[in-house]
Amino acid sequence: MAAQFGPSALATPANLVTIGRLVLTLPLLVIVLGAGPSWPGFVIWLALALTDGVDGHIARRHGTTRSGAFLDPLADKVLVLGMLMAFVAEGTFWWLPVAVITLRELAIQGFRSFWARRGLAVPATRLAKAKTVVQQVAVGLALIPPAGEDATWMANVVLWAAVGLTVVTGVQYVVAGSRSATSAGSR
């Protein structure tokens, strides 16, 4: 299918999916903070996590936009960081891994914005996409209604794996951005 939307379009099907993900984040946070792990929370989370790739697929079919390039990672970060922080408040996750993930996400978002204003894109790598999936799995495991200590233990192990990927991909972004800046400056 040929691109139907130009790079400056706002009202696109992909952006509607992304905005829907953002809008549904608030009720999910209310569920978690009010009731903790639950099947309704897990089902909403699963739908939101699965639609993470749907908006990208739709955008590639209909034409990618600058607004979508901004909104999609924003939705991912609001959703994942919001849930991680809710689980810190709820006592499921320790604050340290969530703080590492949060600081990396904010720093890389600033880093990417900095280079974008200078005309250089720092696209997500496969490993960075895998990092997002591992973060989503950690949250998903924490949302499953209590099945004993095993569920919480598994969610925390996966969360620490996400921390490892978060740090590695953060370093990759800085190195890739530095290389792009160096090669762009030498032209």
- The DSSP secondary structure of 112-171, one letter per residue, reads HHHHHHTT---PPPHHHHHHHHHHHHHHHHHHSPP-SHHHHHHHHHHHHHHHHHHHHHHH
Residue at 130 is within a domain? yes
pLDDT attached to residue 3: 59
Backbone angles phi, psi at 146, to 5 degrees: -50, 125
Alpha-carbon distance of 105 to 107, in angstroms, equals 6
Alpha-carbon distance of 159 to 154, in angstroms, equals 8
- pLDDT confidence of 149, banded at 50, 70, 90? low
Residue-wise pLDDT tens digits, 74-133:
888 899 999 999 999 999 999 999 999 999 999 988 887 787 777 776 677 889 889 999
Q: How many domains, the chain?
A: 1
Token duo for residue 68: 């979508």
Q: Which residues contact 42 (CB under 8 A, 6 or more apart)?
A: 140, 143, 144, 145
Token duo for residue 110: 């600033």
Which has the minimum average pLDDT: 23-32, 63-72, 91-100, 148-157?
63-72
Residue at 38 is within a domain? yes
Alpha-carbon distance of 78 to 26, in angstroms, equals 10
Residue at 3 is within a domain? no
Token duo for residue 135: 């973060």
Residue-wise pLDDT tens digits, 29-62:
999 999 889 999 999 999 999 888 787 777 778 7
Residue at 174 is within a domain? yes
Query: The tokens 């379009």 sit on which residue?
Result: 9
| pTM attached to this predicted model | 0.84
Residue at 112 is within a domain? yes
- The CATH code of the domain that includes 155 is 1.20.120.1760
The type of residue at 110 is G
- pLDDT confidence of 187, banded at 50, 70, 90? very low
- CA–CA distance from 80 to each of 5, 84, 136, 143, 170 (Å)? 28, 6, 7, 12, 16
Residue at 83 is within a domain? yes
Give the domain extent around 102: 13-180
Residue 6 pLDDT more than 70? no
Residue at 4 is within a domain? no
Alpha-carbon distance of 183 to 177, in angstroms, equals 10
pLDDT mean over 17-38? 91
Burial (Cβ within 10 Å: 0-12, 13-18, ≥19) of residue 99: middle
